[in-house]
C-alpha cells in the first residue's frame, strides 16, 4: 500500500463501515490513517488488490504478541473487497498475501474478528480458517471507560 492508494482505501473503508452497520464508529480521518500507516513508528500496515488498474480491495493489519509462545502474531484489522469485485479472487489474494507476510515474519498465527451475521465467515472457512473454540471471551475498553478507570484510581 502506498500513500497514493489512500483515497481509494478510504472509500472502501467507508463501504466496510456501511456494510457492518458501524458508520457511527468511523471517526478516524484519512490523515490519521495515513500517519498510522506511514509515520514512524508504523502502527499499521496494508496491502491492496487491484483489477484492471483499480483498487478493488484492501487489508489492514498489525502485530500482536504471544507471551506464552514468545512469538509474534498478525492481527487482521480490516479485510474488504468492493462488492462488484467479489468472486474474482481478490479476497483470496489478499488473505493469501497476508498469510505469506505472517509466515515470512515468523508469526505463529493470524487472527481477526468477524461479526457473527457476516456471510464472509463461509469465505474464511473455505480458506482454512476456523472460529475460535478455545473458550476465550474477548473484552475491551473504549477511551471513556479507560479515563473513568484512571480517574477513579488516581491517588488524591
pLDDT tens, position by position, 81-139: 999 999 999 999 999 999 999 999 999 999 999 998 999 999 999 999 988 877 777 78
Which residues lie below 8 Å from residue 46, measured CB to CB, with a gap of 6+?
Answer: 1, 5, 9, 37, 58, 59, 60, 61
Summarised one tens digit per residue, pLDDT across range 45-61 is 999 999 999 999 999 99
* Mean of pLDDT over the chain: 93
pTM to 2 decimal places: 0.90
Q: What percent of the chain has pLDDT over 90?
A: 84
Residue 99 has what pLDDT?
97
Residue 2 β-bridge partners: none
Please tell me the CATH code under which domain 3-153 is placed: 3.40.630.30
Give the sign of the dihedral formed by CA 91, CA 94, CA 98, CA 100.
Answer: positive
What is the rounded distance in angstroms from the CA atom of residue 102 to the CA atom of residue 122? Answer: 22
Residue 139 has what pLDDT?
82
Residue 156 has what pLDDT?
65
Amino acid at each position: 500500500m502506498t500513500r497514493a492508494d489512500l483515497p481509494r482505501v478510504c472509500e472502501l473503508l467507508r463501504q466496510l463501515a456501511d456494510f457492518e452497520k458501524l458508520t457511527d464508529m468511523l471517526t478516524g480521518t484519512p490523515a490519521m490513517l495515513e500517519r498510522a500507516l506511514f509515520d514512524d513508528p508504523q502502527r499499521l500496515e496494508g496491502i491492496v488488490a487491484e483489477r484492471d488498474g483499480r483498487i478493488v480491495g484492501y487489508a489492514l493489519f498489525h502485530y500482536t504478541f504471544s507471551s506464552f509462545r514468545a512469538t509474534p502474531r498478525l492481527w487482521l484489522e480490516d479485510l474488504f473487497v468492493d462488492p462488484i469485485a467479489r468472486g474474482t479472487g481478490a479476497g483470496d489474494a489478499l488473505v493469501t498475501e497476508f498469510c505469506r507476510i505472517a509466515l515470512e515474519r515468523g508469526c505463529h498465527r493470524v487472527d481477526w474478528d468477524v461479526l457473527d451475521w457476516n456471510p464472509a465467515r463461509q469465505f474464511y472457512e473455505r480458506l482454512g480458517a476456523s472460529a475460535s473454540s478455545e473458550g476465550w471471551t474477548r473484552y475491551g475498553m473504549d477511551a471513556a471507560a479507560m479515563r473513568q478507570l484512571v480517574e477513579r484510581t488516581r491517588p488524591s
